[in-house]
Protein backbone atom coordinates (compact mmCIF):
# COMPACT_ATOMS: atom_id res chain seq x y z
CA UNK A 1 0.00 0.00 0.00
CA UNK A 2 2.79 2.44 -0.90
CA UNK A 3 0.62 4.50 -3.29
CA UNK A 4 -2.95 5.51 -2.55
CA UNK A 5 -4.95 6.75 -5.49
CA UNK A 6 -8.25 5.74 -3.94
CA UNK A 7 -9.99 7.91 -1.39
CA UNK A 8 -12.72 7.43 1.19
CA UNK A 9 -14.77 9.61 3.44
CA UNK A 10 -13.85 7.48 6.46
CA UNK A 11 -11.22 4.85 7.17
CA UNK A 12 -11.69 2.66 10.25
CA UNK A 13 -8.63 0.88 11.65
CA UNK A 14 -9.70 -2.29 13.45
CA UNK A 15 -12.79 -4.46 13.03
CA UNK A 16 -13.97 -5.25 16.51
CA UNK A 17 -17.68 -4.67 17.23
CA UNK A 18 -16.93 -0.99 17.89
CA UNK A 19 -14.99 -0.47 14.67
CA UNK A 20 -17.67 -2.23 12.62
CA UNK A 21 -20.43 -0.31 14.41
CA UNK A 22 -18.68 2.97 13.65
CA UNK A 23 -18.38 1.93 10.00
CA UNK A 24 -22.05 0.94 9.79
CA UNK A 25 -23.16 4.24 11.34
CA UNK A 26 -21.01 6.15 8.86
CA UNK A 27 -22.31 4.12 5.92
CA UNK A 28 -25.90 4.69 7.03
CA UNK A 29 -25.20 8.42 6.71
CA UNK A 30 -24.22 7.92 3.07
CA UNK A 31 -20.46 8.26 3.52
CA UNK A 32 -17.95 5.94 1.87
CA UNK A 33 -16.06 3.82 4.40
CA UNK A 34 -13.17 1.36 4.42
CA UNK A 35 -12.40 -0.96 7.35
CA UNK A 36 -8.84 -2.28 7.70
CA UNK A 37 -8.20 -5.38 9.84
CA UNK A 38 -4.82 -6.97 10.58
CA UNK A 39 -6.31 -10.41 11.21
CA UNK A 40 -7.65 -12.63 8.44
CA UNK A 41 -11.06 -12.48 10.14
CA UNK A 42 -13.02 -9.49 11.36
CA UNK A 43 -14.17 -9.46 14.94
CA UNK A 44 -11.50 -8.37 17.44
CA UNK A 45 -12.69 -9.90 20.71
CA UNK A 46 -15.62 -11.68 19.04
CA UNK A 47 -14.18 -14.64 17.22
CA UNK A 48 -14.92 -18.36 17.47
CA UNK A 49 -12.53 -21.25 16.82
CA UNK A 50 -11.95 -24.96 17.40
CA UNK A 51 -9.44 -24.45 20.21
CA UNK A 52 -9.52 -27.96 21.69
CA UNK A 53 -10.86 -30.80 19.51
CA UNK A 54 -12.55 -30.92 16.10
CA UNK A 55 -16.24 -30.09 16.36
CA UNK A 56 -15.91 -28.09 19.59
CA UNK A 57 -16.45 -24.41 18.79
CA UNK A 58 -15.11 -22.08 21.45
CA UNK A 59 -15.49 -18.32 21.83
CA UNK A 60 -11.93 -17.04 21.90
CA UNK A 61 -12.70 -13.99 24.03
CA UNK A 62 -16.22 -12.63 24.57
CA UNK A 63 -18.85 -15.29 25.13
CA UNK A 64 -22.04 -14.05 26.80
CA UNK A 65 -23.42 -10.73 25.56
CA UNK A 66 -25.19 -9.03 28.43
CA UNK A 67 -25.27 -5.59 26.84
CA UNK A 68 -25.20 -6.79 23.23
CA UNK A 69 -28.85 -7.76 23.21
CA UNK A 70 -29.71 -4.46 24.94
CA UNK A 71 -27.47 -2.19 22.85
CA UNK A 72 -29.56 0.70 21.50
CA UNK A 73 -27.49 0.71 18.32
CA UNK A 74 -27.59 -3.05 17.73
CA UNK A 75 -31.34 -3.00 18.34
CA UNK A 76 -31.75 -0.39 15.61
CA UNK A 77 -30.04 -2.61 13.02
CA UNK A 78 -31.50 -5.55 11.03
CA UNK A 79 -28.74 -7.87 12.25
CA UNK A 80 -31.07 -10.87 12.28
CA UNK A 81 -31.38 -10.45 8.50
CA UNK A 82 -27.60 -10.96 8.36
CA UNK A 83 -27.50 -14.12 10.43
CA UNK A 84 -27.31 -12.98 14.05
CA UNK A 85 -29.58 -14.90 16.39
CA UNK A 86 -29.48 -14.42 20.13
CA UNK A 87 -30.05 -17.57 22.22
CA UNK A 88 -31.31 -16.72 25.68
CA UNK A 89 -31.06 -18.93 28.79
CA UNK A 90 -33.65 -19.49 31.48
CA UNK A 91 -31.38 -17.65 33.90
CA UNK A 92 -28.55 -15.17 33.44
CA UNK A 93 -26.47 -16.07 36.48
CA UNK A 94 -25.97 -18.98 38.82
CA UNK A 95 -23.91 -18.30 41.92
CA UNK A 96 -23.09 -21.52 43.81
CA UNK A 97 -22.46 -21.41 47.55
CA UNK A 98 -20.78 -24.02 49.72
CA UNK A 99 -23.48 -24.79 52.26
CA UNK A 100 -26.76 -23.94 50.54
CA UNK A 101 -28.45 -23.99 47.12
CA UNK A 102 -27.04 -21.77 44.41
CA UNK A 103 -28.41 -18.25 43.99
CA UNK A 104 -30.08 -17.97 40.59
CA UNK A 105 -30.80 -14.76 38.69
CA UNK A 106 -33.89 -15.72 36.72
CA UNK A 107 -35.42 -13.32 34.22
CA UNK A 108 -38.38 -12.97 36.57
CA UNK A 109 -37.56 -10.42 39.25
CA UNK A 110 -40.09 -12.01 41.56
CA UNK A 111 -38.69 -15.52 41.13
CA UNK A 112 -35.17 -14.25 41.77
CA UNK A 113 -36.23 -12.31 44.84
CA UNK A 114 -37.93 -15.39 46.29
CA UNK A 115 -34.53 -17.10 46.36
CA UNK A 116 -32.99 -14.33 48.46
CA UNK A 117 -34.82 -14.93 51.73
CA UNK A 118 -34.93 -11.90 53.99
CA UNK A 119 -33.45 -9.73 51.22
CA UNK A 120 -36.25 -10.38 48.74
CA UNK A 121 -37.97 -7.05 49.32
CA UNK A 122 -34.74 -5.07 49.25
CA UNK A 123 -33.60 -6.65 45.97
CA UNK A 124 -37.01 -6.17 44.42
CA UNK A 125 -37.06 -2.52 45.47
CA UNK A 126 -33.58 -1.95 44.07
CA UNK A 127 -34.23 -3.38 40.60
CA UNK A 128 -37.94 -2.79 39.89
CA UNK A 129 -37.80 0.99 39.22
CA UNK A 130 -35.32 0.45 36.37
CA UNK A 131 -37.63 -2.05 34.67
CA UNK A 132 -40.27 0.59 34.00
CA UNK A 133 -38.29 1.96 31.04
CA UNK A 134 -35.21 -0.23 30.66
CA UNK A 135 -34.36 0.84 27.12
CA UNK A 136 -34.32 4.47 28.19
CA UNK A 137 -32.03 3.57 31.06
CA UNK A 138 -29.58 1.74 28.81
CA UNK A 139 -29.59 4.61 26.31
CA UNK A 140 -28.25 6.84 29.08
CA UNK A 141 -25.71 4.50 30.69
CA UNK A 142 -24.26 3.13 27.43
CA UNK A 143 -22.79 6.42 26.35
CA UNK A 144 -20.47 9.28 27.33
CA UNK A 145 -21.22 11.53 30.27
CA UNK A 146 -23.99 13.87 29.13
CA UNK A 147 -27.32 15.32 30.14
CA UNK A 148 -29.47 12.19 30.52
CA UNK A 149 -32.57 11.81 28.37
CA UNK A 150 -34.26 9.91 31.20
CA UNK A 151 -33.08 11.81 34.28
CA UNK A 152 -35.20 10.05 36.93
CA UNK A 153 -33.71 6.59 36.36
CA UNK A 154 -30.24 7.99 35.69
CA UNK A 155 -30.15 9.94 38.96
CA UNK A 156 -31.47 6.91 40.84
CA UNK A 157 -28.74 4.83 39.25
CA UNK A 158 -26.01 7.37 40.01
CA UNK A 159 -26.88 7.62 43.68
CA UNK A 160 -26.43 3.86 44.03
CA UNK A 161 -23.67 3.33 41.46
CA UNK A 162 -21.16 5.68 43.07
CA UNK A 163 -20.63 3.38 46.06
CA UNK A 164 -18.04 0.63 46.47
CA UNK A 165 -19.72 -2.69 45.79
CA UNK A 166 -18.73 -4.06 49.20
CA UNK A 167 -20.22 -1.12 51.09
CA UNK A 168 -23.33 -1.02 48.93
CA UNK A 169 -24.08 -4.75 49.24
CA UNK A 170 -23.41 -4.76 52.98
CA UNK A 171 -25.70 -1.78 53.49
CA UNK A 172 -28.45 -2.94 51.13
CA UNK A 173 -28.63 -6.62 52.02
CA UNK A 174 -28.69 -8.58 55.27
CA UNK A 175 -27.78 -12.11 54.19
CA UNK A 176 -24.98 -13.80 52.26
CA UNK A 177 -27.06 -14.88 49.25
CA UNK A 178 -27.98 -11.44 47.90
CA UNK A 179 -24.53 -10.09 48.82
CA UNK A 180 -22.83 -12.88 46.87
CA UNK A 181 -25.08 -12.42 43.82
CA UNK A 182 -24.31 -8.70 43.72
CA UNK A 183 -20.58 -9.27 44.26
CA UNK A 184 -20.46 -11.70 41.33
CA UNK A 185 -22.00 -9.10 39.03
CA UNK A 186 -19.78 -6.31 40.36
CA UNK A 187 -16.71 -8.50 39.85
CA UNK A 188 -17.00 -7.94 36.09
CA UNK A 189 -15.55 -4.48 36.78
CA UNK A 190 -12.08 -6.07 37.28
CA UNK A 191 -11.51 -3.71 40.19
CA UNK A 192 -11.17 -4.15 43.95
CA UNK A 193 -14.76 -4.10 45.16
CA UNK A 194 -13.95 -1.50 47.80
CA UNK A 195 -13.32 1.09 45.05
CA UNK A 196 -15.83 3.84 44.35
CA UNK A 197 -18.27 3.16 41.48
CA UNK A 198 -17.82 -0.64 41.53
CA UNK A 199 -21.49 -0.87 42.49
CA UNK A 200 -22.26 0.53 39.02
CA UNK A 201 -21.48 -2.64 37.10
CA UNK A 202 -23.19 -4.76 39.72
CA UNK A 203 -26.34 -2.74 39.13
CA UNK A 204 -26.09 -2.69 35.34
CA UNK A 205 -25.59 -6.44 35.11
CA UNK A 206 -28.36 -7.14 37.62
CA UNK A 207 -30.84 -4.88 35.83
CA UNK A 208 -29.91 -6.35 32.46
CA UNK A 209 -30.63 -9.89 33.63
CA UNK A 210 -34.24 -8.96 34.36
CA UNK A 211 -34.73 -7.23 31.02
CA UNK A 212 -33.15 -9.84 28.72
CA UNK A 213 -31.43 -12.97 30.08
CA UNK A 214 -27.72 -12.81 29.22
CA UNK A 215 -27.58 -14.50 25.79
CA UNK A 216 -25.04 -16.18 23.57
CA UNK A 217 -24.86 -15.81 19.80
CA UNK A 218 -25.99 -18.86 17.88
CA UNK A 219 -22.98 -20.51 16.25
CA UNK A 220 -20.51 -18.50 18.29
CA UNK A 221 -19.60 -14.89 19.01
CA UNK A 222 -18.16 -14.63 15.50
CA UNK A 223 -21.78 -14.29 14.33
CA UNK A 224 -21.86 -10.70 15.67
CA UNK A 225 -19.05 -9.20 13.55
CA UNK A 226 -20.13 -11.38 10.64
CA UNK A 227 -23.59 -9.80 10.75
CA UNK A 228 -22.20 -6.29 11.18
CA UNK A 229 -19.77 -6.83 8.31
CA UNK A 230 -22.49 -8.19 6.05
CA UNK A 231 -24.71 -5.20 6.80
CA UNK A 232 -21.81 -2.82 6.19
CA UNK A 233 -21.13 -4.34 2.78
CA UNK A 234 -24.83 -4.15 1.91
CA UNK A 235 -24.64 -0.43 2.70
CA UNK A 236 -21.69 -0.05 0.34
CA UNK A 237 -18.84 -0.22 2.84
CA UNK A 238 -15.63 -2.14 2.19
CA UNK A 239 -13.63 -4.44 4.48
CA UNK A 240 -10.04 -5.52 3.91
CA UNK A 241 -8.51 -8.16 6.15
CA UNK A 242 -4.87 -9.15 6.56
CA UNK A 243 -3.80 -5.48 6.47
CA UNK A 244 -1.53 -4.67 9.40
CA UNK A 245 -1.23 -0.90 9.68
CA UNK A 246 1.87 0.33 11.52
CA UNK A 247 1.96 4.00 10.53
CA UNK A 248 -0.30 6.68 9.10
CA UNK A 249 1.74 6.60 5.88
CA UNK A 250 0.17 3.21 5.10
CA UNK A 251 -3.40 4.53 5.19
CA UNK A 252 -5.45 5.53 2.14
CA UNK A 253 -6.53 9.13 1.81
CA UNK A 254 -9.73 9.97 3.68
CA UNK A 255 -11.59 12.83 5.30
CA UNK A 256 -11.41 11.31 8.80
CA UNK A 257 -9.95 8.25 10.52
CA UNK A 258 -11.45 6.22 13.36
CA UNK A 259 -9.21 3.95 15.42
CA UNK A 260 -10.73 0.87 17.03
CA UNK A 261 -7.45 0.35 18.85
CA UNK A 262 -5.92 0.68 22.27
CA UNK A 263 -4.56 4.15 23.15
CA UNK A 264 -0.96 2.99 22.74
CA UNK A 265 -1.65 1.80 19.18
CA UNK A 266 -3.36 5.08 18.35
CA UNK A 267 -0.28 6.93 19.60
CA UNK A 268 2.03 4.70 17.57
CA UNK A 269 0.17 4.49 14.25
CA UNK A 270 -0.94 8.14 14.17
CA UNK A 271 2.28 9.46 15.75
CA UNK A 272 2.98 11.92 12.94
CA UNK A 273 -0.57 13.30 13.09
CA UNK A 274 -0.85 13.84 16.86
CA UNK A 275 0.92 16.34 19.12
CA UNK A 276 3.51 14.94 21.51
CA UNK A 277 1.65 16.16 24.60
CA UNK A 278 -1.46 14.21 23.67
CA UNK A 279 0.63 11.10 22.93
CA UNK A 280 2.20 11.37 26.38
CA UNK A 281 -1.26 11.51 27.93
CA UNK A 282 -2.23 8.38 25.98
CA UNK A 283 0.92 6.76 27.35
CA UNK A 284 -0.34 7.31 30.90
CA UNK A 285 -3.56 5.38 30.24
CA UNK A 286 -3.99 2.53 32.73
CA UNK A 287 -5.05 -0.85 31.38
CA UNK A 288 -5.33 -2.74 34.67
CA UNK A 289 -5.31 -6.49 35.36
CA UNK A 290 -5.42 -9.15 32.68
CA UNK A 291 -7.13 -12.50 32.33
CA UNK A 292 -6.22 -16.18 32.29
CA UNK A 293 -8.71 -18.29 30.33
CA UNK A 294 -9.48 -21.98 29.99
CA UNK A 295 -11.56 -23.71 27.32
CA UNK A 296 -12.59 -27.32 27.74
CA UNK A 297 -13.97 -30.03 25.51
CA UNK A 298 -16.26 -31.95 27.86
CA UNK A 299 -17.72 -35.44 27.76
CA UNK A 300 -21.08 -34.18 29.05
CA UNK A 301 -22.55 -31.25 30.99
CA UNK A 302 -20.82 -29.85 34.06
CA UNK A 303 -22.01 -31.93 37.07
CA UNK A 304 -23.07 -29.04 39.30
CA UNK A 305 -24.04 -29.98 42.83
CA UNK A 306 -27.07 -27.74 42.31
CA UNK A 307 -28.52 -28.75 38.93
CA UNK A 308 -30.20 -25.32 38.61
CA UNK A 309 -26.78 -24.00 37.61
CA UNK A 310 -27.26 -25.63 34.20
CA UNK A 311 -30.07 -23.16 33.49
CA UNK A 312 -27.69 -20.17 33.51
CA UNK A 313 -25.52 -18.89 30.69
CA UNK A 314 -22.99 -17.61 33.26
CA UNK A 315 -21.83 -19.09 36.54
CA UNK A 316 -19.93 -16.94 39.03
CA UNK A 317 -17.56 -19.03 41.12
CA UNK A 318 -16.14 -17.36 44.18
CA UNK A 319 -18.39 -18.01 47.14
CA UNK A 320 -19.22 -15.12 49.41
CA UNK A 321 -18.93 -11.37 48.93
CA UNK A 322 -15.93 -11.34 51.27
CA UNK A 323 -14.12 -14.09 49.36
CA UNK A 324 -14.68 -12.47 45.96
CA UNK A 325 -13.61 -9.06 47.28
CA UNK A 326 -10.44 -10.50 48.79
CA UNK A 327 -9.50 -12.26 45.55
CA UNK A 328 -10.05 -9.22 43.35
CA UNK A 329 -8.13 -6.96 45.73
CA UNK A 330 -5.22 -9.41 45.64
CA UNK A 331 -5.10 -9.29 41.84
CA UNK A 332 -4.89 -5.49 41.90
CA UNK A 333 -1.92 -5.80 44.28
CA UNK A 334 -0.13 -8.05 41.81
CA UNK A 335 -1.01 -11.36 43.51
CA UNK A 336 -2.56 -14.58 42.22
CA UNK A 337 -5.31 -15.71 44.62
CA UNK A 338 -5.50 -19.40 45.46
CA UNK A 339 -9.28 -19.16 45.24
CA UNK A 340 -9.84 -16.80 42.31
CA UNK A 341 -13.17 -15.32 41.31
CA UNK A 342 -14.01 -17.33 38.18
CA UNK A 343 -16.46 -16.42 35.42
CA UNK A 344 -17.69 -19.56 33.69
CA UNK A 345 -19.88 -19.66 30.58
CA UNK A 346 -22.02 -22.55 29.34
CA UNK A 347 -22.63 -21.76 25.67
CA UNK A 348 -23.23 -25.36 24.59
CA UNK A 349 -26.05 -25.70 27.12
CA UNK A 350 -27.94 -23.20 24.97
CA UNK A 351 -26.49 -23.73 21.51
CA UNK A 352 -26.10 -27.32 20.34
CA UNK A 353 -23.93 -26.23 17.41
CA UNK A 354 -21.02 -25.62 19.77
CA UNK A 355 -20.14 -29.31 20.35
CA UNK A 356 -20.73 -32.80 18.92
CA UNK A 357 -23.92 -34.51 20.03
CA UNK A 358 -23.81 -35.47 23.70
CA UNK A 359 -20.66 -33.39 24.31
CA UNK A 360 -20.20 -29.88 25.66
CA UNK A 361 -17.83 -26.94 25.70
CA UNK A 362 -16.70 -25.16 28.83
CA UNK A 363 -15.27 -21.65 29.13
CA UNK A 364 -13.87 -19.94 32.21
CA UNK A 365 -11.47 -17.20 33.13
CA UNK A 366 -10.15 -15.40 36.16
CA UNK A 367 -8.44 -12.06 36.62
CA UNK A 368 -4.66 -11.96 37.04
CA UNK A 369 -2.05 -9.19 37.29
CA UNK A 370 -1.16 -7.43 34.06
CA UNK A 371 1.39 -9.38 32.04
CA UNK A 372 1.09 -12.49 34.20
CA UNK A 373 2.47 -15.78 32.87
CA UNK A 374 1.27 -17.85 35.85
CA UNK A 375 -0.76 -20.90 34.83
CA UNK A 376 -4.05 -20.68 36.73
CA UNK A 377 -5.45 -23.96 35.38
CA UNK A 378 -5.34 -25.81 38.68
CA UNK A 379 -6.78 -22.88 40.66
CA UNK A 380 -9.69 -22.46 38.24
CA UNK A 381 -10.46 -26.17 38.06
CA UNK A 382 -10.39 -26.41 41.85
CA UNK A 383 -13.06 -23.71 41.98
CA UNK A 384 -15.20 -25.62 39.49
CA UNK A 385 -14.71 -28.92 41.38
CA UNK A 386 -15.66 -27.14 44.60
CA UNK A 387 -19.19 -26.70 43.29
CA UNK A 388 -19.27 -29.49 40.66
CA UNK A 389 -17.59 -32.61 42.09
CA UNK A 390 -16.38 -34.90 39.32
CA UNK A 391 -15.91 -32.09 36.82
CA UNK A 392 -12.33 -33.04 35.95
CA UNK A 393 -13.48 -36.51 34.90
CA UNK A 394 -15.54 -34.87 32.13
CA UNK A 395 -12.54 -33.08 30.55
CA UNK A 396 -11.51 -34.47 27.15
CA UNK A 397 -9.15 -31.64 26.24
CA UNK A 398 -8.26 -28.15 27.44
CA UNK A 399 -6.83 -24.97 25.92
CA UNK A 400 -5.27 -22.12 27.91
CA UNK A 401 -4.66 -18.44 27.24
CA UNK A 402 -2.52 -16.26 29.51
CA UNK A 403 -2.15 -12.49 29.31
CA UNK A 404 0.55 -12.70 26.62
CA UNK A 405 -1.66 -14.97 24.51
CA UNK A 406 -4.50 -12.46 24.79
CA UNK A 407 -2.24 -9.59 23.73
CA UNK A 408 -0.94 -11.57 20.74
CA UNK A 409 -4.49 -12.51 19.79
CA UNK A 410 -5.66 -8.88 19.95
CA UNK A 411 -3.19 -6.01 20.48
CA UNK A 412 -6.03 -4.01 22.11
CA UNK A 413 -5.72 -6.35 25.12
CA UNK A 414 -2.63 -4.66 26.56
CA UNK A 415 -1.16 -6.82 29.32
CA UNK A 416 -4.12 -9.16 28.89
CA UNK A 417 -6.68 -6.48 29.82
CA UNK A 418 -9.82 -7.59 27.98
CA UNK A 419 -12.17 -4.68 28.71
CA UNK A 420 -10.28 -1.70 27.31
CA UNK A 421 -8.67 -0.44 30.52
CA UNK A 422 -9.36 0.43 34.14
CA UNK A 423 -12.83 1.90 34.66
CA UNK A 424 -12.27 3.48 38.08
CA UNK A 425 -13.31 6.97 39.15
CA UNK A 426 -10.30 8.47 37.33
CA UNK A 427 -10.96 6.77 33.98
CA UNK A 428 -14.68 6.04 34.04
CA UNK A 429 -15.69 9.26 32.27
CA UNK A 430 -12.31 10.47 30.97
CA UNK A 431 -11.14 7.54 28.89
CA UNK A 432 -8.70 7.58 27.21
CA UNK A 433 -7.93 11.19 28.29
CA UNK A 434 -10.05 14.02 29.66
CA UNK A 435 -11.77 15.80 26.75
CA UNK A 436 -15.21 17.31 26.33
CA UNK A 437 -15.77 14.82 23.52
CA UNK A 438 -13.83 11.67 24.52
CA UNK A 439 -13.81 10.26 20.97
CA UNK A 440 -11.92 13.22 19.52
CA UNK A 441 -8.19 13.94 19.51
CA UNK A 442 -6.33 17.25 19.01
CA UNK A 443 -6.28 16.38 15.30
CA UNK A 444 -9.84 17.02 14.06
CA UNK A 445 -9.49 14.24 11.48
CA UNK A 446 -8.54 11.52 14.02
CA UNK A 447 -10.93 9.72 16.40
CA UNK A 448 -10.75 6.75 18.75
CA UNK A 449 -13.72 4.39 18.94
CA UNK A 450 -12.48 1.40 20.93
CA UNK A 451 -13.49 0.07 24.36
CA UNK A 452 -10.97 2.55 25.78
CA UNK A 453 -13.68 5.19 25.28
CA UNK A 454 -17.07 5.49 27.04
CA UNK A 455 -19.03 3.43 27.87
CA UNK A 456 -16.11 0.98 27.98
CA UNK A 457 -15.84 -2.77 27.61
CA UNK A 458 -18.56 -5.07 26.37
CA UNK A 459 -19.88 -6.18 23.00
CA UNK A 460 -22.43 -3.43 22.41
CA UNK A 461 -20.92 -1.27 19.65
CA UNK A 462 -21.83 1.92 21.49
CA UNK A 463 -18.27 3.28 21.61
CA UNK A 464 -18.15 3.02 17.81
CA UNK A 465 -21.64 4.46 17.37
CA UNK A 466 -20.91 7.54 19.49
CA UNK A 467 -17.50 8.05 17.87
CA UNK A 468 -19.11 7.91 14.43
CA UNK A 469 -21.62 10.57 15.45
CA UNK A 470 -18.73 12.81 16.51
CA UNK A 471 -16.85 12.21 13.26
CA UNK A 472 -19.88 12.80 11.07
CA UNK A 473 -20.37 16.26 12.58
CA UNK A 474 -17.00 17.31 11.14
CA UNK A 475 -16.85 15.20 8.01
CA UNK A 476 -17.76 17.88 5.46
CA UNK A 477 -15.07 20.24 6.78
CA UNK A 478 -12.33 18.19 5.14
CA UNK A 479 -11.33 17.01 1.71
CA UNK A 480 -9.94 13.48 1.40
CA UNK A 481 -6.19 13.60 2.04
CA UNK A 482 -3.41 11.39 3.46
CA UNK A 483 -3.09 11.40 7.25
CA UNK A 484 0.22 13.23 7.66
CA UNK A 485 1.76 15.31 10.40
- The string of pLDDT tens digits covering residues 228-247 is 999 999 999 999 999 999 99
Alpha helices (H) along 98-175: 109-114, 120-127, 134-141, 151-161, 165-172
- Residue 405 to residues 18, 335, 409, 438, Cα–Cα distance (Å): 22, 19, 6, 29
User: Could you tell me if residue 95 is inside a domain?
Assistant: yes
User: Could you tell me if residue 73 is inside a domain?
Assistant: no
Sign of CA dihedral 362, 366, 372, 375: negative
Q: Is the pLDDT of residue 122 over 50?
A: yes
- Indicate whether 200 and 330 sit together in one domain: yes
User: Could you tell me if residue 448 is inside a domain?
Assistant: yes
What are the pLDDT digits (tens) for 99-114? 899 999 999 999 999 9
Calculate mean pLDDT across residues 258-273: 97
CA dist., res. 229 & res. 459, Å (int): 15
| Domain extent at residue 38 | 7-52+221-287+420-477
Q: Is the pLDDT of residue 2 over 60?
A: no
Calculate mean pLDDT across residues 253-270: 98
Per-residue pLDDT band for 426 (boundaries 50, 70, 90) equals: confident
Query: Given 350, 377, 409, which residue is the final one in a domain?
Result: 409
Query: Given 364, 383, 409, which residue is the final one in a domain?
Result: 409
User: Could you tell me if residue 57 is inside a domain?
Assistant: no
Say what the pTM is.
0.96
CATH of the domain at 26: 3.50.50.60
The DSSP bridge partners found for residue 400 are 294
Calculate mean pLDDT across residues 437-458: 97
What are the pLDDT digits (tens) for 271-302? 999 999 999 999 999 999 999 999 999 999 99
Query: Given 350, 378, 409, which residue is the final one in a domain?
Result: 409
Give the closest residue to 327 by CA, choosing from 362, 319, 163, 402.
319
- Close Cβ partners of 351 (under 8 Å, ≥ 6 residues apart): 87, 216, 218, 219, 220
Give the closest residue to 47 by CA, choosing from 231, 263, 213, 295.
295
Calculate mean pLDDT across residues 443-449: 98
CATH of the domain at 190: 3.90.660
pLDDT at 428: 83
- Indicate whether 140 and 198 sit together in one domain: yes
DSSP code at position 240: E
Q: Is the pLDDT of residue 201 over 50?
A: yes
Which helix (H) or strand (E) segment is 328 a member of?
helix 321-332
Total of domains in the chain = 2
- Indicate whether 210 and 114 sit together in one domain: yes
pLDDT at 5: 60
- Indicate whether 261 and 129 sit together in one domain: no
pLDDT at 145: 86
- Close Cβ partners of 385 (under 8 Å, ≥ 6 residues apart): 391, 392
Amino acid sequence: MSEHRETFDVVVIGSGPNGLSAAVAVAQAGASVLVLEANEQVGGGTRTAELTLPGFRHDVCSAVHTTGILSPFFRSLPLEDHGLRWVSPEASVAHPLDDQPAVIMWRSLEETALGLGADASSYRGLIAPFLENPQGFFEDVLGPLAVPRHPASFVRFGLNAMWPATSFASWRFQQSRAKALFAGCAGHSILPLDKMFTAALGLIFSIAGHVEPWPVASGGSQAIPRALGSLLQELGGEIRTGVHVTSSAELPAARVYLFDTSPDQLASVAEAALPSGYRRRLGRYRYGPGAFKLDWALDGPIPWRDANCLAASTVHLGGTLEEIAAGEAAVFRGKHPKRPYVLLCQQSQLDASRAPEGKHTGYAYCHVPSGSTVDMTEAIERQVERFAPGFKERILSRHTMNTHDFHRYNPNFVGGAITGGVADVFQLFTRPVARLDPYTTPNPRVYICSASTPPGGGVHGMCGFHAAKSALRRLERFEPAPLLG
